[in-house]
Structure 1
Amino acid sequence: MLDANLKQQLKTYLGNITQPIELVASLDNGAKSAELLALLEEIAELSDKVALLRDGRDRRTPSFMIRRAGTDIGVRFAGIPMGHEFTSLVLALLQVGGHPSKAAQELIQQVKDLDGDFAFETYFSLSCQNCPDVVQALNLMAVLNPRISHVAIDGALFQDEVDARKVMAVPSIFLNGEPFGQGRMELEQILAKIDTGASARAAEKIKAKDAFDVLVVGGGPAGAAAAIYAARKGIRTGIAAERFGGQVLDTMAIENFISVQHTEGPKLAAQLEQHVKDYDVDIMNLQRAEKLIPAKVPGGLHEVRLENGASLKARTVILSTGARWRQMNVPGEDAYRNKGVAYCPHCDGPLYKGKRVAVIGGGNSGVEAAIDLAGIVAHVTLIEFDSQLRADAVLQRKLYSLKNVTVITSALTTEVHGDGEKVIGLTYRDRNADSSHLVELEGIFVQIGLVPNTEWLTDSVALSARGEIEIDHRGHTSIEGVFAAGDVTTVPYKQIVIAMGEGSKAALSAFDYLIRLAPMETAQAA
């Protein structure tokens, strides 16, 4: 299963194992079991510290446990962890084998200190770029704390189980048999949910911080670039982000980031965070901004109030809170979110194998989603509000060549229908004939653009009719000393490379503003 190059890389990694491990396989006579066995045999051959045992008795087959020899320390995979999950497999081998994690020591200790029994199960798909973060975080927790266990389950391989548990989006996490969470979660976020005192402790630490010269709110490409450019000026810089990486974390393939032929969102987000960490930047992750309170006098301190009750103060603020997927805002959408209504075809598409789905939106994102899904599902209905598709011509030609795709234009989705547990259809209105039509299906993928994350700013900075922060050519907002950058602003073309440039520009503008101010003591006394 592994080519020669990958085998050599894996052999090098396995050289870091310090404690013997066992691969305990639970197999049947099926083709997938044979495939898994071949993979495990290849891994075992690469290190004398890895032994393969075929006497596993897990109820899921094929599956295997990675176990530290002579102990109960280990993690389990139900399925064959290739694709995006191959990295999760490698990390699990290393960590069960005694190689230390690169996670922050504070988080590692927090995991070790957890009191209680936690049995986690995560459903993933091999094409999901958000799933590895969850799988890797929970695997690490299981290695660090003997009262925590984790099994990562390939939903496409265990379809009956997925149906029985009504899993319609990945990653889906269960804790002690009950739903725990859905979507991308990092170690810090998981701990915040189960360690009830974590938020209060974080708030107390934030309250004790001194004022910043530049405070960046938002951790996407614009925010990361702003923080780097500010820190390089030698001024006190902080960045508060709801999730570092922003919407880039939800992006699959990136092929237009100049000088990088191809990358993926999570990889780029990790590189952005590491680059910021190379500088003296105070990173405050998992912090949602709730209110901006402008300085009362020029050169005074602006205040950003956080959802956890803490506040941060700064002489200048750069707003880079980005945007999120636009919703249809029709009856049934919220009720059936993650129960048939989805926003990531790459992540959730495999769960709809052989089923009927709709894609809402005829731009590039919508047409690309329809093309991807057509190779998995039984049928795709693409619904576009306009009289024609807006995607690039090459994408349209590919779409129309697919036999299991129906394109409906001049149509407005008016309602999502469900049976109380899952989506069973949608209604759309034909804008030409003014008639309504019902489409029976099992999944709806919404791809209709972005909404700026500015609800918390409606009483402070000037916003456009679309809710974007109005800025000038230097990134200034309507408030002196407050700047903005990226997808949250009125700058056209929401692209990663543009957001980075705008973030850099905003930081330079903030620095230029600061050097023209009176000394801080004078401003505070005013």
Structure 2
Amino acid sequence: MLDANVKTQLKGYLANVTHPIEIIASTDDSDSSRELQSLLNDIVEQSDKISLRQSDDPTTRKPSFAINRVGADMGVAFAGLPMGHEFTSLVLALLQVGGHPPKADAELLEQIRNLPGEYNFETYISLTCQNCPDVVQALNLMSVVNPKIRHVMIDGSLFQDEVNARQIMAVPTVYLNGEVFGQGRMGLEEIVAKLDTGSSARAAAKLNEKTPFDVLVVGGGPAGAAAAIYAARKGIRTGVVAERFGGQVLDTMSIENFISVKETEGPKLAMALEQHVKEYDVDIMNLQRAAELVRGPEYVEVKLQSGAVLKSKSVILATGARWREMNVPGEQEYRTKGVAYCPHCDGPLFKGKRVAVIGGGNSGVEAAIDLAGIVAHVTLLEFDSKLRADAVLQSKLRSLPNVTIITEALSTEVLGDGNKVTGLTYTDRATNEGHKIDLEGIFVQIGLLPNTDWLKGSEVELSNRGEIIVGAHGNTSMEGVFAAGDATIVPFKQIIIAMGEGAKASLGAFDYLIRSSAPKA
């Protein structure tokens, strides 16, 4: 199952196991069970501290396995083969159950230990989902720390009956004690905050006590990370307040145009960004959404949705962008019920079904190509009279037998039966005729919108597209406020450009601080 190189690496990791581990497997005579058995045998061979036994419980999912510390009761389990993006989740689970300390804040771990009640989590994933491992790893860690917490990762492609019964059409989908707890990427802090209802007020109180910053960066994507590093290297008091560190990069599957790095994945790059920022004396305030920006007599104030207020001599806005929506009837009603925005994450859930992709740019055409290898049929709808994707992508798309391309199509409504998507209507812009397509899924790939709604009405000038207008040094129309990245008017929304703009805005802010503090002549 595992090649020699992976086995060697795994053996090295498992040398950190200090407590004996027992793996309890539940298998049958299926091909997937045989694959799982092979995987578990390979794991056991790499450490004398790991043993394997078969479960005789007829109610347990098959194939699946639990990981337990001998003499303890830890609720970590995997239903399916945790390969692909989830192989790291498996390795971390083995290490943590085996006594290797988790890389988490001590205060947060204590908060997990003190959670009241019992929690039975189930997380439905796909092995191609780059958002799923964060959720799986967080809940596994919680299960190791608190014996009242149980968690099982479930590969939706192997347990289609459950997926269909629960009408799961987006991953990750997390159930808690039989009820939907959440969908989409969630980190450890976010999950704990959702369970510990008093944590938000406590966090806001702590934020209000912080002394003013020299530079406060709003946003934790590539632009924000670069800005924070450049500011911290100047030796000035630097803070980063972000809704989620990593930003839009976390939703990016493959990155092949980041100079000097031949290929990487969004979550890996986001982790590297955060680790780099943490090498410096930067105050990172995660899971906080900015709500208002106010210029005071001495400081710029950033008011957060939690009610906290942060003050700084200068502010760098790097709030990035989000997926653009169709804004048609039915889209919000059937979001995660057939309407999706991440083909890599949710595509496997539509195996053998009919789907549409909205958008004929590079993202849309790439999505259609990927989905064509999974689903029964893909219909790509483009508003313009021709596709806008690169020629090589268009050529590949047109070579696929199960793809239909419709141009000059204006999507008008998402149709459904109350539980899931059943179709889509569109208008042919050339003839003005209406059409209906029967579908089970719709993947929206029509570009990005800047995350600047919270700035409307402030002194920060925005373009007619809602982008922050910046000058040569990243300066905005508000004194002491700079901006960088996808939220600004700077063209070409690329990671490498955002990083450069973040560095430039930080240097601009530092220059502003020097000039504003200089004695008046």
Q: Same fold (TM over 0.5)?
A: yes
8 Å contact kept, 1:27–1:56: no
SS in 2 for 1:162: helix
Corresponding position of 2:65:
64
Corresponding position of 2:408:
410
Corresponding position of 2:337:
339
Pairing partner for 1:367 from 351, 359, 365? 365
CA distance in 2, matches of 1:249, 1:487: 15
CA distance in 2, matches of 1:169, 1:498: 31
Q: CA deviation at 1:22?
A: 0.8
Corresponding position of 1:8:
8
* Per-residue deviation, residues 422-467 of structure 1 (Å, max 9, x unmatched): 0000001000010000000100000000000001101111000000
CA distance in 1, matches of 2:235, 2:121: 44
Q: CA deviation at 1:295?
A: 2.8
Q: CA deviation at 1:59?
A: 2.5
* Per-residue deviation, residues 119-151 of structure 1 (Å, max 9, x unmatched): 000000000000000000000000000100000
Q: How is 1:247-262 mapped onto 2 (pairs within 5 angstroms)? A: 247-262=248-263
CA distance in 2, matches of 1:50, 1:111: 27
Q: Do structure 1's residue 146 and structure 2's residue 144 form an aligned pair?
A: no
* Per-residue deviation, residues 148-202 of structure 1 (Å, max 9, x unmatched): 0000000000001000011100000000000000000000000111100110111
1:19 partner letter:
H
Corresponding position of 1:328:
326
Q: CA deviation at 1:56?
A: 4.4
CA distance in 2, matches of 1:295, 1:513: 16
8 Å contact kept, 1:412–1:430: yes
Q: How is 1:213-252 mapped onto 2 (pairs within 5 angstroms)? A: 213-252=214-253
Q: Do structure 1's residue 51 and structure 2's residue 54 form an aligned pair?
A: no
Q: Do structure 1's residue 436 and structure 2's residue 437 form an aligned pair?
A: no
8 Å contact kept, 2:474–2:483: yes
Q: CA deviation at 1:107?
A: 1.2
* Per-residue deviation, residues 345-397 of structure 1 (Å, max 9, x unmatched): 00000000000000000000000000000000000000000000000000000
Corresponding position of 1:77:
78
Q: How is 1:18-417 mapped onto 2 (pairs within 5 angstroms)? A: 18-57=18-57, 58-296=59-297, 300-417=298-415
Q: What are structure 1's unaligned runs of at least 5 residues?
A: none
8 Å contact kept, 1:225–1:500: yes
Q: CA deviation at 1:304?
A: 0.4
Corresponding position of 1:509:
508
2:39 partner letter:
L
Corresponding position of 1:465:
464
8 Å contact kept, 2:421–2:439: yes
Q: CA deviation at 1:67?
A: 1.0
Q: CA deviation at 1:102?
A: 0.8
Pairing partner for 1:421 from 419, 422, 443? 419
8 Å contact kept, 1:250–1:265: yes
**Between the two proteins, what is the percent identity of the paired residues?**
71
* Per-residue deviation, residues 384-425 of structure 1 (Å, max 9, x unmatched): 000000000000000000000000000010000000000000
CA distance in 2, matches of 1:69, 1:124: 28
* Per-residue deviation, residues 58-84 of structure 1 (Å, max 9, x unmatched): 521000001111222241000000000
Q: CA deviation at 1:101?
A: 0.3
8 Å contact kept, 1:427–1:439: yes
Q: CA deviation at 1:281?
A: 0.5
CA distance in 1, matches of 2:225, 2:483: 13
Q: TM-score, normalised by structure 1?
A: 0.98
CA distance in 1, matches of 2:417, 2:196: 35
8 Å contact kept, 1:253–1:262: yes
Q: What are structure 2's unaligned runs of at least 5 residues?
A: none
Q: Which runs of 4+ in 1 moved over 6 A?
A: none
Q: CA deviation at 1:37?
A: 0.3
Q: TM-score, normalised by structure 2?
A: 0.99
8 Å contact kept, 2:355–2:377: yes
1:500 partner letter:
M
SS in 2 for 1:52: strand
8 Å contact kept, 1:56–1:64: no
CA distance in 1, matches of 2:487, 2:506: 16
8 Å contact kept, 2:75–2:149: no
Alignment RMSD: 1.0
SS in 2 for 1:64: strand
SS in 1 for 2:197: coil
